Chain A
């Protein structure tokens, strides 16, 4: 099988149409499906999947975008760290663009602070070696997918005896966030599309308690459009059969146990935080990680505690991200959507990254208007 087949085979419009027809044939009742991961939100919007699916299937866009869920006070931490003298702040992805309470890393960089967007966390090693007289702070973000990469960076920093590398850890975990949304009791969610890459690392076993407790089918899905379509079909079939189990559509990359080597590395360096505030959701117990106490010398939150602001900051009161995450509202229902709140000037969490629900609707909205509630 050629590489192209591995990609195109999962984007074939004929396959998508055939799966859509089968879903239409079999789907008998309304099903609200939360796609936990921002990567799935992106696929659903980009390929207009809501349009080819029956109206009985509705997607609820979940909390799985690591940039979106970062509370403003933690962005202010990054800004405070980057503002220290003799410091290089390094991070991944969209993080640089996201405004904190007063400014963003991007603006700070334009003002001359040394802030670097990385291709890989391991680039930190080279930066630290080339700048022995500077402190290099890695602002680590991401779900279970990215935590092992931070663990490997930690391992390399120790092996290379680097004393100028520090970590500000913002790694969060999926099951606790899903639990927080479901345990509120008012979420309108009947089933889940399980994340692709998180599950590659953790294995799909982590969702089993949720499927059982809340009687929700959970199908771990790949990122390609036919992956999502097939997973919806599998959900429909579970609903029809009165089942609620964890099923794995993404068998080409995900197993029940996951990547054990990655899990072991994470365990070596990280432990649970008792609490973490999620932008748009609020405080969730045990939903994030921190460095183990024995690595305190690397922990930017401990070493630079004196410069870190302590005030908690909430989003504007008009923001309804919390309801969007529970399936109780769509981005179009927000009064300021596309007006005062846009990707360049986000007022709430789901607008800050291209993987957030509001931002995806802003970009691809016209394609998906059919499925939108008025």
Chain B
């Protein structure tokens, strides 16, 4: 039931409905459950026709930066791809 994909706000109307774009698919969702200000260009999580929350781009970027660092460590051989495999089974 849960749609995990972030949707981008492309329009907000006077009835507190937003048109969002989810990977190219446009739909209308109500902003009734959100207390903060939502602006065009923000990302929201949607569930059964409701925006549930804004998604923090900064937090998302932090996560991806951390993954890039781990991937870099693997490329440099600090973590082996096969490390520990089958050592304890």
A binding-site residues for B, Cβ under 8 Å: 1, 3, 5-7, 9-10, 12, 14-15, 17-19, 21-22, 24-25, 27-28, 37-39, 54-56, 66-67, 92-94, 118-123, 142, 145-146, 148-149, 152, 196-197, 200-201, 222-224, 226-227, 230, 249, 251-253, 259-262, 265, 355
Across-interface contacts of B8 in A (CB, < 8 A): 3
Across-interface contacts of A15 in B (CB, < 8 A): 64, 67-68, 70-71
Name the residue of chain B whose CB is nearest to the CB of A6. Answer: B6
Contact, CB under 8 Å: B1 / A355: yes
A226 to B73: give the CA distance in the assembly, Å: 17
A265 to B34: give the CA distance in the assembly, Å: 11
Contact, CB under 8 Å: A259 / B53: yes
Q: A18-B70, A93-B1 are in contact. Are A197 and B45 (CB under 8 A)?
A: yes
Contact, CB under 8 Å: B45 / A1: no
User: Which of chain B's residues 29-72 have a Cβ closer than 8 Å to chain A?
Assistant: 29-30, 32-35, 43, 45, 47-50, 52-53, 55-57, 59-64, 66-68, 70-71
Q: CB within 8 A of A22: which of B29, B43, B59, B79?
A: B79
Closest 5 CB pairs of A and B: A120-B49, A223-B4, A252-B59, A15-B67, A18-B71
Contact, CB under 8 Å: B48 / A149: yes
Interface size on B, residues (CB 8 A): 47
Taking the closest CB of chain B, its distance from the CB of A150, in whole angstroms, is 10
Across-interface contacts of A260 in B (CB, < 8 A): 35
Contact, CB under 8 Å: A119 / B48: yes
**A to B CB contacts below 8 Å, 10 in the list:** A5-B60, A5-B64, A14-B71, A149-B47, A200-B45, A227-B63, A252-B57, A253-B53, A259-B53, A260-B35
Contact, CB under 8 Å: B67 / A200: no
Contact, CB under 8 Å: B52 / A201: yes
Contact, CB under 8 Å: B1 / A66: yes
Across-interface contacts of B84 in A (CB, < 8 A): 24-25, 27, 54
Q: CB within 8 A of A119: which of B43, B49, B62, B64?
A: B49
Taking the closest CB of chain B, its distance from the CB of A47, in whole angstroms, is 12
Contact, CB under 8 Å: A39 / B2: yes
